[in-house]
A and B are shown apart, each in its own frame.
Chain A
Amino acid sequence: MNFFDRFTKGWQKYRKPGYYEEFDYAWTMTIDLDRCTGCSACVTACQAENNIPIVGEKAFAKGRQMQWIRIERYWEGEYPNAKLSFIPMLCQQCDAAPCETVCPVSATYHNQDGLNTQIYNRCIGTRACAVYCPYEVRYFNYNDHHWDAPLDQQLNPDVTVREKGVMEKCTFCIQRIRTAKDEAKDDGRRRVRDGDVQPACVQTCPTEALVFGDRKDPQSKVSKKLKDPRAYRVLEELNTLPSVVYLKKVDADG
């Protein structure tokens, strides 16, 4: 048995990808790159919903900005044939998340819905997860952040305000998922209906490039999007099995 086989066997023993299959939901987001215009409404929506601090010029210069979803842009070709494409990048909620195995205190773990979750008050700030994340979507609080009063009145009471020394990242707006589950329970429904949960970014996206839902529900909008032949996952070769699936941009040149 070579090293690699041993490694994968060990992996399977301790980490069963898809172990949560027996649970109710598998939250998924699809991002249609042929619709996304790079307008960045999603970025501000996420900041507003999730109490993401403004880090200020100095921290930004050190690369310490906190936006949980960012728009990456890539140029191709030269003038006059230059082309610019955008891709929204957020936590990919990997099924086989490299960040989870590396955390010495299990501050980041996999929940029953297939979400990659961060326990803020367990995090000791080793930042190992950020190093292991191939998508670079984990953000570390290098400082305590401050909201000039009365900007703090806007803070969402459903979301924790994080402290210095803690890692954070996109949660798929877990507070909204929880609320929807509670409401479903109150209504005596077993399941959350498709469309009941919309993360902040999805809700605001003007072009409806972002679609969110449960891929265990074959009728959900997101399940239908997953069947699109344009579907792909970023850095597929790493086998991280993301729950964020992109739909290819269409290149209709000429």
Chain B
Amino acid sequence: MSNIDRRDFLKLVGAGSVGAGAGFMLAESIKHPVEYLIPYVVPPEDFSHGIATWYNSVCSMCPAGCGITVRTREGRAKKIEGNPSHPVNQGRLCALGQAGLQVLYNPDRLTAPMERTGDRGSGSFAQITWEDGLTRTAEHLASLHKNGQGNRVAFLSTGVRGHFASLLELFMEALGSDRLLHYDFAHPHTLYAANKRFFGEESLPYYDLQNTRFLLSFGADYLGRWISPVHHGLGFGHSRQGRATGRLRTVQIEPRMSISGAAADQWIPARPGTEGHLALGLAHHIVAEGGYAGDDRENWVAALRPYSVSRVADQTGVAPDTITRLADAFADTQPSLAIGGGAAGNCSNGVATLVAVNALNYLVGNLGKRGGLLFNPTPAFGSSSHPRQASYRMLSELAEDARNGQIEVLIINGANPVFNLPSAAGFEQAMAEIPFIVSLSSFLDETTAMADLILPSHTYLESWGDDSPEPGMGFAVGAISQPVVSPLYNTRASGDIILGLAQQMDLGEALPWDSMEDFLKARWREIYERGAPADKLNDFESFWRSILQAGVWGEKTQNSASTFALDPNLVDNIGVEAAVFSGDSEVYPFVLHPYLSNAFYDGRGANLPWMQELPDPLTSVVYGSWVEMNPLTAKKLGLSEGDLVRVESPHGEITAPVFVYPGIMPDVIAMPIGQGHAEFGRYAKDRGVNPISILAPLMDPDSGSLAWGGTRVKIEATGRQAKLLKIGGESRQLGREIIQTSSNREGANEHAQINSIPISVVSS
């Protein structure tokens, strides 16, 4: 059905027959940009009037790495669809992925290189030439390089993978700097750390949603913005209805109902930061009931002793019989799968919590098994992002170094730390100490506004690149990103900017390529050469053409069967400390639960008008921020929808209207992340508030990542009102039976109302 397995995938790829694109031809036409006086008297090879051409590429709107196929007409991109042969998304996309064209055609793009003319952050820039911009940057870098001070250059990129990530590494190495960092606000540091501790591998496994029968999620909004939402959506849809092994049952544990919580058969609110306790409580019950028969059973019994059901019930606020029933269902419904992340991984005990979730999978035997958790091979090529991903601790160190005058040059590529870090981190102030800041961003975001020089890069739809998605699919997958239209403006691909700088700095030996496209082809030639002779197409060019057309590539090497042996010391050390919260609970009675918004992800989608006007799935609100609170809390505080309240933490305050939300614990306040931009173009600027700004600089000590679920706040009415823009209509059905439910588990054999009126008019 919907699911491409490895064999099908290789068949598709091998044949090179999928995706109708003619990307290589476009590439040729881009290399020789020609201005036509009379347009299209001699039309470029790859288009005819009125006939669409499709190009396969990779979505870059979030780290999931879905394959896309872009429909172009007369040289303009018209529509992005999912690439049906890309195993991650199999032809589907999320809302943000659909909106990628508004990145390309955004009216607020930076159109040419610029230098700062006013104060930093003032936003006044004047246009310069590429030559000027590159030379000035190269001179700065070269003088440091010559004096052996390359390490005074820091590079902060958004998360990138594949060969572009390798290029950055080569560049920084040649420069003599190890300060190459990637930064994505939502990078799951705690999950990697927990996997390293439990499985010995610092990577993400494959969660086999499509074959599991019971999915227990601790805070991971897998259908929202957690890791790979489209792939999870595919697995979820497939296993909910229509498969032979019966309907998937899902349980979601989280203090505020997310998209996945709404989709779950059961939503269980647990006190923030106690998800790990709950996981160990379940483990305790499973082991006690004889659900685990390993040799080290006694060790587990001892380690789990402090997590008796009654104690855990007290800690988490979840009823004891709910815990036991859940534990029984999880152990008895095989295969089952527990996942953890999101809020559960974002407290000061995040790593320990996610280790506890892994333990749960281990105890009921979900590891390395169909319908459970499968181990991934290492990415097939290029570099992955995680080893370079900056945790909060690493960014704080960078800021510290900047304050101490150890950073001379900062190069920013797409990352937006000024927006995505709490004000308490003082990153913006630290940036002020850096003498020379260059930004390669396509938009004037908050961080780019601090730059001295802007060398604007192409958007992803105009650039060459490749990607090996992480988490992988359990087998080696790659995809090529190719330009789908000629560049709109006087911008350059980030890769070409890096190579241009290298040339000017005489780093040609380490980086001998003329362009990103050259570099990419050189690397793919190596991949071609190492392929088994029998699988090889005649020559490299036809191989290259076939992967451009397919948009995806797979290697015919067998995935080494992962065996898993538990480190015996681990069992004794299993345990979860109480989460630490910033702020005295007397003064700050609520826990702030910031969440990634469906439309904006971590804020990067806020400049897209389609996303601004997309009603939030759970609240239907558009164009703004809001504060979600339980109806009881609202009543107690005398608040109702639209009342403007001040949300104050020990580290700052923001003001937004109340939204009364039935799916949230009474002592938790939730706010979406994404709005509240001070820059970032006309659609994003000065709209709503940014809850990240008031977060405490609190970390999970094991991974050094920001504990963004660990800030307490108080709520004060301002006495003012704001109209919350949302879709009108009743929030309750009032007996209209618009949404009908079938109480039977498998949905089988209900008396079908529909039969009263014949629906099928089959005649011919």
Contact = CB atoms under 8 A, between A and B. Distances in A.
Interface residues of B, number: 109
A153 B740 contact: no
A35 to B, nearest CB: 4
B98 A73 contact: no
Interface in B726-753: 727-733, 736, 738-750, 752-753
Interface of A: 18, 21-22, 24, 26, 32-35, 37-41, 43-45, 47-49, 54-57, 60-61, 63, 65, 67, 70-80, 82-87, 148-157, 200, 203-209, 215-218, 223, 226, 228-236, 239, 241, 245-254
Contacts of B101: 48, 154
A147 B545 CA distance: 36
B234 A207 contact: yes
Contacts of B723: 61
> Which 6 residue pairs are nearest across A and B when measured between Cβ atoms?
A206-B233, A207-B237, A82-B662, A44-B98, A38-B617, A248-B742
10 contacts: A48-B610, A72-B738, A75-B731, A84-B663, A204-B92, A206-B233, A207-B234, A230-B747, A250-B241, A252-B745
A203 B265 CA distance: 26
Q: Which of A47, A48, A49, A77 lies at the interface centre, i.e. has the most chain B CB atoms within 10 A of its CB?
A: A48
B698 to A, nearest CB: 27
B742 A207 contact: no
Nearest to B663: A82
B233 A207 contact: yes
Given A206-B92, A223-B760, A236-B754, 15 more contacts: A32-B240, A67-B615, A71-B615, A79-B631, A82-B267, A85-B262, A86-B739, A157-B50, A203-B91, A204-B98, A206-B89, A226-B754, A247-B241, A248-B750, A250-B746
A220 to B, nearest CB: 10
A232 B745 CA distance: 17
A251 B743 contact: yes
Contact of A249 (B234, B266, B614, B741): B741
Interface in B36-54: 50
A47 B237 CA distance: 23
A60 B623 contact: yes
Interface string B699-740: 000000000000000000000000101011111110010111
Contacts of B756: 236
A66 B51 CA distance: 28
B589 to A, nearest CB: 17
Contact of A48 (B99, B615, B617, B730): B99
Contact of A209 (B229, B237, B662): B237
A206 B266 contact: no
Q: Which of B50, B617, B623, B763 lies at the interface centre, i.e. has the most chain A CB atoms within 10 A of its CB?
A: B617
B593 interface: no
Contact of A226 (B107, B741, B745, B759): B759
B188 interface: no
A59 B238 CA distance: 39
A216 B664 contact: no
B259 interface: yes
Interface string B602-631: 000000011111110110101100000011
Contact of B81 (A47, A153, A204): A204
Interface stretch (B71-79, B157-165, B400-408, B515-523): B71-79
A61 B725 contact: yes
A151 B91 contact: no
Given A150-B488, A250-B747, A84 B266 contact: no
Contacts of A73: 617-618, 620, 731
A223 B760 CA distance: 8
A48 B98 contact: yes
A243 B146 CA distance: 72
Contacts, number: 293
A237 B404 CA distance: 74
Contact of A78 (B81, B93, B224, B631): B631
A93 B746 CA distance: 29
Q: Which of A44, A67, A239 lies at the interface centre, i.e. has the most chain B CB atoms within 10 A of its CB?
A: A44
Contacts of A37: 223, 233, 236, 259-260, 262-263, 617
Interface in B67-104: 73-74, 76-82, 89, 91-99, 101-102, 104
B320 interface: no
Contact of A35 (B96, B237, B664): B237
A76 B241 CA distance: 23
A192 to B, nearest CB: 14
Contact of A74 (B92, B232, B731, B746): B731
A72 B741 CA distance: 15
B502 interface: no
A84 B618 contact: yes
Contacts of A56: 613
Given A79-B632, A149-B107, A246 B610 contact: no
Contacts of A74: 730-733, 738-739
A45 B93 contact: yes
B752 A229 contact: yes
Q: Which of A49, A87, A151 lies at the interface centre, i.e. has the most chain B CB atoms within 10 A of its CB?
A: A151
B598 interface: yes
B617 A248 contact: no
Q: Which of B78, B241, B598, B609 lies at the interface centre, i.e. has the most chain A CB atoms within 10 A of its CB?
A: B241
A88 B554 CA distance: 36
Contact of A229 (B609, B731, B748): B748
A226 B760 contact: yes
A55 B96 CA distance: 19
A218 B760 contact: yes
A234 B73 CA distance: 38
Contacts of B532: none
